[in-house]
Amino acid sequence: MIVGRAPGKAVLWGEYAVLTGAPAVVLAVDRQAVCELTPSAAYRFTASGFEAGEAEFPSLPRNPPRDAPAALLAWHVLNTFSGTALNAGVFRLSTDAFYSAGRKLGLGSSAALSVAIEGACARWLGEAPRHERALAAHRRFQGGRGSGIDVAAAFLGGTLRFQDGKAQPLAAALPECRFIWTGTDASTGRHIDRFAAYLNAGDTRALDRLAERSERLCREPSLEALDDYADALRRLDRAAGLGIYTAAHRRAESLAKVHKLAYKPCGAGGGDIGAAFAESPEQFTDFETAATAAGLTVLGLEAASHGIDIRS
């Protein structure tokens, strides 16, 4: 058996702005997607967590298996190994760690699973894993959408500055950070559609402001700069009608202000997770108690210093 593992992600800042060439910062987190690969006489895909289900084919289908999302993701990965004979196998796929009570947390489960599958297949062939293969497969799975920031986090791990498809370790020190789950999973695709409509309308002043604030944060990741960034994100939300700041995010933000913390939604927003920032870890104690009492979930996420891991 070959086992590929890859971590999830949380976008600390730069969401939406990164889609237009501005820098963003992403943190790989310690929730692992897993692909267990065993040689077999047929292709069999079983999945838990990410779109749980199973599918089996005597040979790899020429057309994508639309009725089995996890098999579809694996199919896209397998097709990036062009010109290479990949024998049939059993793919046991798991993203259980990316869910809570059956709901998606928004930590990049499909990107992490793409990386895990690509790494397991590469080891099967005696090759090194390749970021560009995992990225190509995930992008096709998403219909060409996305910046690739989640795939970079899963492949490389750590805290990354990401811009124009390229990632490198963030040089500046980050404030202390804790993550809050709103209790509602978000539809990233719907938000991206709204964002595309905003771009097509032509007035991008709110986005330009957000990009400038993201640039500043990459140079100076302070609480003041995070507050300015959150204000710019709120302005973009209003200008584009994105629905980033849900009632749960507003509740978390209000509690953060009471406890002298900075707060912002992470990623597409409209649910999923947010991040609270402080100068010292002691500042989180009362905030976390208040957040829990308000019906929010404090996630015990830690940074994942390493990306893809493959064992056999």
Phi, psi dihedrals of residue 233, rounded to the nearest 5°: -65, -40
Question: Is residue 264 very low, low, confident or very high in pLDDT (cuts 50, 70, 90)?
Answer: very high
What pLDDT, on a 0 to 100 scale, did the predictor assign at position 145?
Answer: 84
What pLDDT, on a 0 to 100 scale, did the predictor assign at position 51?
Answer: 66
Give me the long-range contacts of 283-291 (CB less than 8 A, separation at least 24): 283/176, 283/259, 284/176, 284/178, 286/259, 287/178, 287/255, 287/256, 287/258, 287/259, 287/261, 288/178, 290/255, 290/258, 290/259, 291/180, 291/252, 291/255
Strands annotated E in the chain: 2-13, 24-39, 43-48, 53-57, 89-94, 99-100, 103-104, 159-163, 166-169, 176-181, 262-265, 273-278, 297-299, 309-311
Select the more confidently predicted residue: 113 or 86.
113
- C-alpha dihedral (115, 116, 122, 125), degrees to nearest 10: -150
**Count of CB atoms situated within 10 Å of the CB of 168:** 12
48-70 pLDDT, tens digit per residue, is: 986 667 888 988 888 888 878 88
Determine contact, residues 239/191, Cβ cutoff 8 Å. no
Model pTM score = 0.94
Q: What is the mean pLDDT of residues 65-79?
A: 88
Q: pLDDT averaged over the chain?
A: 93
What pLDDT, on a 0 to 100 scale, did the predictor assign at position 223?
Answer: 96
Tokens of 136: 């190509």
Ordered strands of the 297-299 beta sheet: 262-265, 273-278, 176-181, 297-299
- Range name among 85-94, 216-225, 287-296 with the lowest pLDDT average: 85-94
